[in-house]
Amino acid sequence: MEKIIVANLKMNLISHEERTRYLKMLRKALTGKDFSGRELVFCPPFVHLEYFSKELKGNKNLKLGAQNVFWEKEGAYTGEISPLQLKDLGVEYAIVGHSERRYILGERDSAINKKVLALLKNNLRPILCIGETSEEKELNQTAQVITRQLELGLKGIRPGFLENLVIAYEPVWSVGTDVIPLSNEVMSAKLIIRKVLTGKWGRKYTEKVRIIYGGSVSGQTIEELCVKPQMDGVLVGRQSLYPAQFIKIAEKC
Ligand code: PGA
């Protein structure tokens, strides 16, 4: 299975200059590097997708991702972006259910589910984020929370589509905080996720689903958060804003 290393650039690169500088640094960081057996997925803000698309073209290990998507194809949905529009730009992946959308924008599991289904139907690959808050962790509810988010987020998926799915375990308390879980906690979340998937659809259909970790990933924490718990990759926030750091993480993963 190819490892997947996702750069979630969030609402950053706020000007033409910043974007140009980022892409220049990225080009430099990638020079002479070979990422066969790995996929590096860049998820810039929508307004930069076209520029990233041009930059990444021609390198089969570098992929384009979106940070969100809407579930309808087209029409009167002010402010939304459709899976078809993403596809037209060369996007292959889309992050869905990120905790910042769940908790700042009030995104519910039912909406997240519609997005997952719409992506799969259009041959795009959802990166579904799940994870417990610090309160839920204190109450020992991690297993319960991630099971519920999986059940609701993945409702109605046809088994044949599952190989395009990526699940990102992102404990909410670790996103943007530099507080990280122990490798055995990451491993145990991964086992719960596998168990839910196999329980629902059987091993044959779900063994290709990649389970990755997200939250305070850096060159220093990658060993504990990805290598030791044998994750299939990582989702990187802040450190992905520094191309050289991100590439270092991808090499260590
Ligand atoms: P972080 O963000 O790496 O800055 O903690 C992770 C994420 O939002 O997925």
When pLDDT is cut at 50, 70 and 90, the band that residue 27 belongs to is: very high
Ligand 1: which atom is nearest the Cα of residue 240? 3
The pLDDT of residue 174 = 98
Whose Cα sits closest to atom 1 in ligand 1?
237
Stretch 2-8: mean pLDDT, rounded? 97
Stretch 182-200: mean pLDDT, rounded? 98
Q: What is the pLDDT of residues 203-239, one digit of tens each?
A: 999 999 999 999 999 999 999 999 999 999 999 999 9
Whose Cα sits closest to atom 2 in ligand 1?
237
When pLDDT is cut at 50, 70 and 90, the band that residue 23 belongs to is: very high
Average model confidence (pLDDT) for the chain?
97
Ligand 1: which atom is nearest the Cα of residue 10? 8
> From the candidates 39, 98, 107, 132, which is the catalytic residue?
98
Ligand 1: which atom is nearest the Cα of residue 100? 8
CA 245 / ligand 1 centre spacing (Å): 14
Ligand 1: which atom is nearest the Cα of residue 178? 5
- Is residue 170 part of the annotated active site? The answer reads yes
Which of 31, 36, 44 shows the shortest CA–CA distance to 244? 31
Q: What is the pLDDT of residues 119-146, one digit of tens each?
A: 999 999 999 999 999 999 999 999 999 9
Kindly list the protein residues whose Cβ atom lies closer than 6 A to any atom of ligand 1: 8, 170, 175-176, 214-217, 235-238
The pLDDT of residue 202 = 95
Percentage above 90 pLDDT, the chain:
99
Tell me which amino acid residue 76 is: A
Exposed (0-12), middle (13-18) or buried (19+): which is 138, by Cβ within 10 Å?
exposed
Q: What's the per-residue H, E or C state across 67-133?
A: CCCCCCCCCCCCCCCCHHHHHHCCCCEEEECCHHHHHCCCCCHHHHHHHHHHHHHCCCEEEEEECCC
CA 223 / ligand 1 centre spacing (Å): 16
The pLDDT of residue 117 = 98
CA 230 / ligand 1 centre spacing (Å): 19
CA 172 / ligand 1 centre spacing (Å): 9
Q: How far apart are CA 206 and CA 40, in angstroms?
A: 22
